[in-house]
Structure 1
């Protein structure tokens, strides 16, 4: 690889990571979209990873915090991070680090969308449960939010 190409790739990765954390997969995708050759950018991206400038762990922590603040549950977050090929162990560590009470988050999401009252109508409860499932909460968290158990 020529030295000017390497400098351009380093500059592109640096600008990308200066804005926000990116997963390794996301960084590779963006570099490919910019027209860089994988043989040219993969070694540079590896150097960034080894120097801990690019970190899938930090990306996972950032996404967990961001998603939780938007009322998204743990299962949906895990699915999203698995699409970025983040290791399951790294995702679990990020979830622990975020220290989110998923049951209380589920309850707050339910209250925000449907109000505080406990629904007695079967169809209305099903609608609430489907919404909570879509948001990525576990069955126990949904039960806690919808039924109060």
Structure 2
């Protein structure tokens, strides 16, 4: 079957098998930040934005993305680099395997809530599996990022 979608702001038409998962489709088009972790929709490593909403691409057929916009971390480099530096500063990217999914979900959170409370952060990111860090570094990185963002906004006003 043929599908047409926008992948990281580039219109793309491709033939896919009806059972092709979105994770396999985006990876076959060079989006290697999208990773396969659990294959049970529990780890968050395969998170992409489908029409600007986070979805687990291991649980979405590529055909469902026909006519839609798909964004991976490759399509959010500037935004991701700015936030990712705060995570790295806290040593929260030990092996780095979970970082792309974690960053995608954090960016989705920031779009939904400009300055979320700690409990909201923990709840929103609870679907991300990290076997290295215990999540405290990520939480500190998010808190530092939000503090920096708020100070930057106040200075501009």
Q: TM-score, normalised by structure 2?
A: 0.32
- Point out the structure with max Rg over C-alpha: 1
Q: TM-score, normalised by structure 1?
A: 0.33
Q: Where is the strand percentage greater, Structure 1 or Structure 2?
A: 2
